[in-house]
């Protein structure tokens, strides 16, 4: 590190801060890394993503990592019945080198939403790109810093990943309703509660998104035009702004919960955990 005037220093990680500035990028970086490792592992398993206590008919628990089920590979332990697939049985043309797991077809959707999210960008630019790692701490030296104008210009399409995420909110909400039935009978289990909380948290995150805030009303200069009364868009924008002010909470809560929901379904489907419910087990 080189000393410069003003008593400052310059160079990678140079700072005069005396507090634990490294703590936040460390815990956020490790937390998200743990999520990515677990998600990748769970995605490649391709089994134990479905549980209905062996009963046919409407209802059952479906891991959110595997929803929607575009194709289903039959005969796999803990897999859903074939009639749950949108497009039927697993395609024969699927390359043998790539595991035949329904999660691999859909996880890029919610991941793209999180990876272009303005909150996630803050934390991973800090934790992984170290640009900068913390405030008043010098990051990775770059000769000609470009920000998000060149390679990262795709971040501007965050609103399109939002549309994908809103689709997942609808699908996972349907899964939550599905979890209240087993063999066509209404009831409630611990898994039902977990799978209902999941889309609520995702909705809190998606509906508080900065792009959604812009679309609902942020793009407007006048909230009371044309008749001087607050418009419906303004009222929606206020609600979205409330969620947006807590965006970090919703981001982490929804991310951790979706992993927990997968763990729960996986453990129940594989017989490791007992799902307490109003149905007779």
Rounded least distance, CB 36 to other proteins, Å: 20
Least distance between other proteins and beta carbon 239 (Å): 14
178-197 binders of other proteins (CB under 8 A): none
Of 40, 74, 146, 274, which lies in the binding site for other proteins, with binding defined by CB under 8 A? 146
| Strand ranges inside 108-263, DSSP E | 181-182, 185-186
Regarding 126 and contact with other proteins (CB under 8 A), the answer is yes
From the list 161, 162, 166, 173, the residue with the least C-alpha distance to 62 is 173
Q: Which is nearer to other proteins, 77 or 131 (CB)?
A: 131
At its nearest, how many Å lie between other proteins and the CB of residue 15? 5
Cβ proximity of 237 and 35 under 8 Å: no
145 binds other proteins (CB under 8 A): yes
Q: Judged by CB under 8 A, which stretch of 65-73, 91-99, 116-124, 170-178 contacts other proteins?
A: 116-124
Q: Measuring CA to CA, which residue among 219, 211, 248 is closest to residue 113?
A: 211
The residue range among 38-46, 65-73, 81-89, 224-232 that interacts with other proteins, by the rule CB under 8 A, is 224-232
Span from 33-41, 107-115, 118-126, 265-273 in contact with other proteins (CB under 8 A): 118-126
The Cα–Cα gap between 226 and 237 comes to 17
What is the C-alpha to C-alpha distance for residues 121 and 127, in angstroms, rounded to an integer? 10
Kindly list the distances between the CA atom of residue 2 and the CA atoms of 9, 12, 14, 151, 226, in Å, as whole numbers in the listed order. Answer: 6, 10, 9, 30, 59
**Footprint on this chain of other proteins (rule: CB under 8 A):** 5-8, 10, 15-19, 118, 121-122, 125-126, 131-132, 134-136, 138-139, 142, 145-149, 152-153, 156-159, 210-211, 213-214, 218-219, 221-225, 228, 230, 234, 244-245, 247
């Amino acid at each position: 590190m080189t000393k410069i005037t003003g008593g400052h220093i310059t160079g990678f990680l140079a700072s005069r801060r005396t507090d634990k500035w490294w703590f936040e990028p460390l815990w956020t970086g490790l937390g998200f890394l743990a999520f990515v490792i677990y998600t990748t592992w769970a995605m490649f398993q391709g089994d134990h993503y479905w549980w209905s206590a062996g009963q046919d008919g409407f209802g059952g628990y479906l891991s959110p990592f595997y929803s929607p089920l575009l194709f289903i590979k039959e005969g796999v332990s803990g897999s859903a019945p074939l009639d749950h697939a949108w497009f039927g049985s697993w395609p024969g043309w699927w390359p043998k080198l790539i595991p035949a797991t329904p999660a691999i077809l859909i996880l890029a959707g919610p991941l793209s939403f999180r990876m272009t999210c303005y909150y996630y960008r803050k934390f991973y630019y800090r934790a992984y790109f170290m640009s900068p790692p913390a405030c008043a701490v010098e990051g990775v030296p770059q000769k000609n810093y470009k920000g998000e104008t060149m390679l990262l210009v795709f971040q501007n399409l965050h609103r399109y990943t939002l549309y994908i995420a809103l689709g997942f909110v609808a699908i996972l909400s349907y899964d939550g309703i599905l979890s209240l039935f087993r063999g066509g009978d209404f009831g409630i289990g611990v898994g039902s509660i977990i799978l209902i909380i999941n889309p609520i948290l995702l909705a809190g995150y998606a509906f508080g998104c900065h792009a959604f805030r812009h679309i609902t009303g942020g793009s407007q200069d006048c909230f009371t035009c044309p008749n001087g009364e607050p418009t419906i868009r303004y009222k929606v924008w206020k609600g979205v702004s409330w969620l947006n002010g807590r965006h970090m909470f919703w981001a982490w809560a929804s991310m951790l919960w979706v992993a927990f929901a997968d763990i729960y379904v996986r453990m129940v489907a594989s017989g490791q955990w007992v799902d307490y419910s109003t149905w007779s087990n």
